[in-house]
Structure formats: C-alpha cells, structure tokens
C-alpha cells in the first residue's frame, strides 16, 4: 500500500475555512483509495492562540491541530522569520512528502519558503489572486508563494492568467474552484439553525452587515472616519450590525463619537456559523474582507467592498460585488441602490460548487 505524508498549515481565521474542506476530502480519499494519506495540521498561531480560535475549530468540525508553533503577533518580518525557524524544525522531524499552504497570510509564505529550501513539494490553494497593489503585505505573500510552489490551485480563470503572465509553467496550474465556497455549502444548513438573529432581535433583510479589519482602513484616523461617516448615513436608512474585529475596536476610539451615532449595532466578533447566518439574512454587506466577497457572491447578497481594488475581480464581473473604497458618496450611493431594489445580476463562477477540495486532493494524490 502506498502512503503519503502531508502537512497542512494554518495560522489565521481565514485559513481554517480553507483547511477544513481539505481534511474532509483527505478522509474521503482514504476511505476509497489504496493510496493512503497521513496528514497533520500545523497551527502557527500567527493571529490567535488556540483558545481564542477554538470556536472556529468547533464550528468547522476541525480536529485539534497536531502541532502548534506558538508564533504570536509581531511585525511582518518578525512573524515570517519566527515561522520559518520553527517550521523548519518540524519539517526536519516529520519529513513530509508535501506541505499545503492556503491563502495569503504570513504563515502561507513562511511555510512555503521553509519547505522549498528543504526540497519538499509545496501546494498553494487559492493561488494566482492579484490586487496589483504592492503596498498590501498579502500581495507580496501571494506573489512569492506562487513563484516557489509546485502545485498552484486557482479559483478562477483570471488567476490562471495572472500566473501565466508571471511565467509560471502551465503544468503547475490547476483551476479547481473556490475552497471557501466548500465550507460555506457544507455548513450552510447548520448555520441556518443559529439563533443569532433571535439573540440580536433582528429580522431577515431588515439590517445591513459591516466588517472592517484591513490596516489601510482601520489604522488611520482619516480613512476610518470617512467609512464611519458613510456607515452612519446608511444606518439612518437601515440598521447596521457591526461585529468588531479587535484591531478595529481599539482604533474606533480615535474616531469622533458623533460618527458612531445612529442605528449602528456594535457587537463582539462571532463564530463562523453565527456569522454565516447574519450574512445570509442581511439586506447587503459592507466589508473589506476578501473571503466575504466570495461568500456573498455565492449567497446572492449584495456586497459593497470598502477597498479601491480586489484580488477577486470575478466577484465583480460575475458576482454581487461593487468596489466603493472609503468614499462616503460612493458607499451611500451604492447602499441606496440596493435599498431601492436595484441589485446587479450575478451567476456562480465555474467550479464554485463545493467540490474544490475533492479536486485538489485527487490531483495531488495522482501526481505525487
């Protein structure tokens, strides 16, 4: 019997939603195939310690990680360096056939670098996405990870095109669909059982949902003030529910309290299932998250993205997404359109069907 040994690396909340479908697909593969895959989850603890992220592991039915690196917060260079040092020791001990990295956080690049330098094959899930904004740390992580990975699994045709323009060999590129959609489809029924609407005394389609976490939006007083000015105006027409990221909560203190007057409901961060329930029932969503742009497209929920660019242009071309930046006029104008029932037509992109992880595991098992 042939056996393969894989390490799956995660480090921040968005990674958990991408790792969970892969684990289900590996288990399914092992039930059906003579080629068995032994896997371990490596949690770098880049953003959250396990206790803080435990609700996500529970909601996503993720097993407790096998290996914790205990990296913690720090500057981009400090985090990346610590992960490389600690993960290299894991690689030398475990001797895997493959390292799977997902997304675009510091853990993604650091783990890929450590593995590549030891001649261990690397698979990057969610490859080829580009915002073309090199001031974003995530863009640097994407570019470099894709250059050193052996298998590049992309969510959409534009991602394939980006990789080909950058000189990546065609035999390394596989368009498989969006792995975030796998988690959404798998957990949608569970999320519908959430009592979060009842708890918050909300009715479907009678509120808007807001998320903010990107440094460019929340670390500067001017940008955050412009967004909150627009949100205040929107909240006078429809209540706005705002689960506040810890980074954002700290920085809201510098914003004029007057900006927060209105029907803005500030709540603590939510688990995955509660958040999906809120998102499914929102009239529209305002966000600077990449993953939410994908999820709203699949759910058919209008999405106003509070950024000037996106690495997921397919959510604009085919989905429900509209870029509004931090311009109050644009935000209010697009919110008013939705409130008047002017919703752009949308369709599911190819392979956004909940089977992305199955394709990834099959391709890897066949090629390793």
Phi/psi zone of residue 126: left (φ > 0), alpha (ψ -120 to 50 degrees), beta?
A: left
Order of strands, sheet of 321-323, starting from the edge strand that comes earlier in the sequence: 264-267, 240-243, 208-210, 285-287, 303-305, 321-323
Residues 6+ apart with CB under 8 A from 234: 208, 240, 286, 331, 332, 335
107, 9 contact by CB (below 8 A): yes
Q: Where do we find the tokens 């996503």? A: 60
Contact between 47 and 11 (Cβ < 8 Å): yes
Q: How many residues does the chain have?
A: 368
Whose structure tokens read 């002017």? 342
Catalytic annotation present for 124: no
The count of other CB atoms within 10 Å of the CB of residue 225 is 16
Q: Which of 29, 43, 76, 213 is catalytic?
A: 213
Bridge partners for 90 per DSSP: none
Catalytic residues: 213
């Amino acid at each position: 019997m042939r056996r393969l040994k894989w390490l799956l690396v995660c480090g921040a909340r968005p990674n958990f939603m991408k790792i969970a479908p892969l684990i289900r697909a590996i288990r399914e593969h092992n039930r059906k195939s003579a080629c068995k895959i032994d896997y371990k989850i490596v949690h770098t603890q880049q953003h959250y310690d396990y206790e803080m992220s435990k609700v996500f592991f529970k909601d996503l039915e993720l097993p407790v990680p096998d290996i914790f690196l205990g990296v913690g917060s720090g500057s981009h260079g400090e985090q990346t360096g610590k992960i490389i040092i600690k993960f290299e020791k894991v690689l030398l001990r475990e001797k895997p056939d493959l390292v799977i990295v997902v997304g675009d956080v510091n853990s993604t690049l650091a783990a890929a670098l450590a593995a590549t330098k030891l001649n261990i094959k690397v698979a990057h899930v969610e490859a080829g996405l580009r915002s073309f904004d090199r001031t974003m740390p995530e863009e640097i992580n994407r570019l470099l990870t894709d250059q050193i990975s052996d298998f590049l699994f992309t969510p959409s045709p534009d991602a394939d095109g980006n990789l080909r323009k950058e000189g990546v060999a065609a035999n390394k590129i596989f368009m498989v669909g969006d792995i975030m959609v796998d988690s959404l489809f798998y957990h949608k029924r569970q999320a519908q059982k959430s009592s979060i609407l009842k708890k918050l005394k909300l009715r479907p389609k009678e509120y808007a949902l807001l998320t903010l976490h990107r440094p460019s939006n929340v670390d500067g007083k001017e940008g955050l003030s412009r967004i909150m000015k627009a949100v205040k105006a929107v909240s006078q027409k429809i209540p706005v529910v705002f689960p506040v990221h810890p980074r954002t909560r700290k920085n809201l203190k510098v914003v004029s309290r007057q900006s927060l007057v209105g029907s803005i409901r500030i709540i603590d961060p939510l688990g995955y299932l509660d958040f999906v329930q809120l998102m499914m029932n929102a009239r529209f969503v305002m966000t600077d998250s990449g993953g939410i742009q994908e999820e709203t497209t699949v759910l058919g929920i209008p999405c106003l993205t509070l950024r000037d660019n996106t690495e997921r242009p397919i959510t604009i071309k085919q989905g429900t997404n509209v870029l509004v930046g931090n311009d109050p006029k644009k935000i209010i104008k697009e919110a008013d359109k939705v409130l008047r029932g002017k919703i752009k037509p949308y369709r599911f992109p190819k392979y956004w069907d909940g089977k992305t992880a199955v394709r990834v595991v099959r391709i890897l098992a066949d090629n390793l």
